[in-house]
């Protein structure tokens, strides 16, 4: 099971209690967890909150994200959310990339050249700090915010606000991301899906099954087909050297 990672605190500033940074890859993998159905169908699995302006949210947001309204400097959490029971609570704004307090210059008055420094958190951190009092798990702050996530995973942007249960049932998860933008782990259906191949810019396949996929047929440079049964008893160890050589040719072996 995936978990969010905490980052080391700054020499000068400090890490918020109850908050952890969540890499874009981690949120991507959280969105794509599956049992028999997508785990997004589980009401207590993920609470994804958008603290940007209404205009920005309406233009596009991450799939299943709910907008958090702010009234009189207080964030209003959607009533349908039971934060005590939620496994993953992820909050994002435009581009927050740190849990640390930000120094902001503020004028003393309109007629003075003097200014003072004010400590302010990013919007996601400010909201997350309030939510941390209501959750049993750390609140995850999406590193880089919506700008970073949508740049990496543009196919997970949407204008859809309300998701019906049957729509979540029909949601087709993408492969798990092992190395950001380079290596993915998926099933045969995902390997045969043209949209997934295009969205993830897949350039090669390692097919570990008895079935033959529709991509890279007769292309030994971009397809390694290891024909073994898909079972718990199958032994993949004799093929690992060949697999590593294939990854090395693709330029991935050293990074793995």
Highest mean pLDDT among 13-22, 69-78, 122-131, 193-202: 193-202
Measured on CA atoms in the order 26, 30, 31, 33, is the torsion positive or negative? positive
Rounded Cα distance between 186 and 168, Å, is 19
| pLDDT digit string, tens, across residues 112-171 | 555 555 556 789 999 999 898 888 899 999 999 999 999 999 999 999 999 998 999 889
Comparing 6 with 112, which gets the higher pLDDT?
112
What's the average model confidence in pLDDT over 206-221? 88
What are all long-range contacts of 191-194, with beta carbons under 8 Å and residues at least 24 apart? 191/215
* pLDDT value at 22 more than 70: yes
Euclidean distance between CA atoms 4 and 95, whole angstroms: 18
Minimum mean pLDDT among 74-78, 86-90, 127-131: which range? 74-78
In percent, the amount of the chain with pLDDT more than 90 equals: 55
93: number of Cβ within 10 Å: 24
Reported as a pLDDT band with limits 50, 70 and 90, residue 28 is very high
pLDDT at 78 over 90: no
pLDDT score for 104? 54
Asked whether the CA dihedral 192, 195, 200, 203 is positive or negative, the reply is positive
pLDDT given for residue 16 in this prediction: 47
Q: In the beta sheet, which residues pair with residue 66?
A: 49
- Give whichever of 118-132, 186-200, 212-226 has the largest mean pLDDT: 186-200
Q: Is 114 helix (H, G, I), strand (E, B) or coil?
A: coil
Residue 75 confidence (pLDDT) above 60: yes
- Cβ pair 125, 96 in contact under 8 A: yes
What is the model's pLDDT at position 119?
A: 57
Range of weakest confidence among 37-51, 76-90, 110-124, 204-218: 110-124
101-107 long-range contacts, CB within 8 A, separation 24+: 101/13, 101/14
H-run or E-run covering 128: helix 123-131
- For residue 216, what is the DSSP state? S
How far is CA 254 from its chain centroid?
25
DSSP structure class, residue 49: E
Residue 17: the pLDDT is: 46
Please give the Cα distance from 136 to 18 (Å, whole number): 9
């Amino acid at each position: 099971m995936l978990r969010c990672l905490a980052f080391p605190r700054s020499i000068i500033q400090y890490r918020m209690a109850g908050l952890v940074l969540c890499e874009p890859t981690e949120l991507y993998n959280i969105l794509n967890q599956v049992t028999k159905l997508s785990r997004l169908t589980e009401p207590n699995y993920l609470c994804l909150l958008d603290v940007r302006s209404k205009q920005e949210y309406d233009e596009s947001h991450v799939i299943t994200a709910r907008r958090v309204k702010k009234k009189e400097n207080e964030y209003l959490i959607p009533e349908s959310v039971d934060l005590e029971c939620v496994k993953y609570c992820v909050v994002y704004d435009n581009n927050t990339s740190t849990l640390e307090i930000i120094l902001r210059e503020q004028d003393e008055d309109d007629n003075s050249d003097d200014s003072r420094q004010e400590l302010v958190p990013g919007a996601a951190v400010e909201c997350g700090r309030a939510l941390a009092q209501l959750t049993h798990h750390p609140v995850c702050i999406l590193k880089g915010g919506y700008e970073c996530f949508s740049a990496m995973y543009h196919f997970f942007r949407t204008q859809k606000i309300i998701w019906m249960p049957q729509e979540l049932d029909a949601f087709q998860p993408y492969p798990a991301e092992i190395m950001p933008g380079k290596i993915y782990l998926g099933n045969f259906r995902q390997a045969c899906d043209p949209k997934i191949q295009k969205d993830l810019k897949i350039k090669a396949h390692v097919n570990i099954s008895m079935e033959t996929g529709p991509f890279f047929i007769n292309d030994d440079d971009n397809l390694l087909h290891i024909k073994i049964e898909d079972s718990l008893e199958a032994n993949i160890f004799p093929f690992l050297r060949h697999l590593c050589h294939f990854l090395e040719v693709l330029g991935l072996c050293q990074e793995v």
